[in-house]
Amino acid sequence: MPIPQTVSSGYNAINPLVGLSSTALRLYRALEVFRDVFHSRNEWEWFRAPRLDKRLQPLGFSKQEINQELAALVRAGILQMRDAGNIRWDRLK
């Protein structure tokens, strides 16, 4: 049974992961692994996710799902992205 929108938005203020799809939550957990392995030497909170689609497709993610759920994480305010040259850096909040 889905949570009513007013209740969901209250929980979302406490924990922005509330209300995200299960695919977005799985992607968030995968990004936490990338953060621990591929963090920036200068800025520890920023990390890169090289060949993200190639690494996640064997886990059942399609390229479209990855892009869609990355956008959902950005909209939820728990993922930031920035480009530096030809490398995309991410930061989980």
pLDDT tens digits, residue range 19-67? 899 999 999 999 999 999 999 999 999 999 888 889 999 988 999 999 9
CB 81 within 8 A of CB 92: no
pLDDT at 29: 93
Is a pLDDT exceeding 70 seen at residue 15? yes
The structural domains of the chain, with segments of one domain joined by +, span 21-92
Task: Write out the two tokens for 41.
Answer: 């030497």
Q: Name the fold adopted by 21-92.
A: Arc Repressor Mutant, subunit A (1.10.10)
- Residue 56 CB: number of other CB atoms within 10 A? 20
Residue 5 has pLDDT above 70, yes or no: no
Euclidean distance between the first and the last CA atom of the chain, given in angstroms as a whole number: 29
- CA atoms of 70 and 53, how far apart (whole Å): 11
Task: Give me the pLDDT at residue 14, please.
Answer: 65
Q: Are 89 and 82 in contact (CB under 8 A)?
A: yes
Q: Is the pLDDT assigned to residue 6 strictly greater than 60? A: no
Question: Directed axis angle between helix 22-37 and helix 63-75, to 10°?
Answer: 90
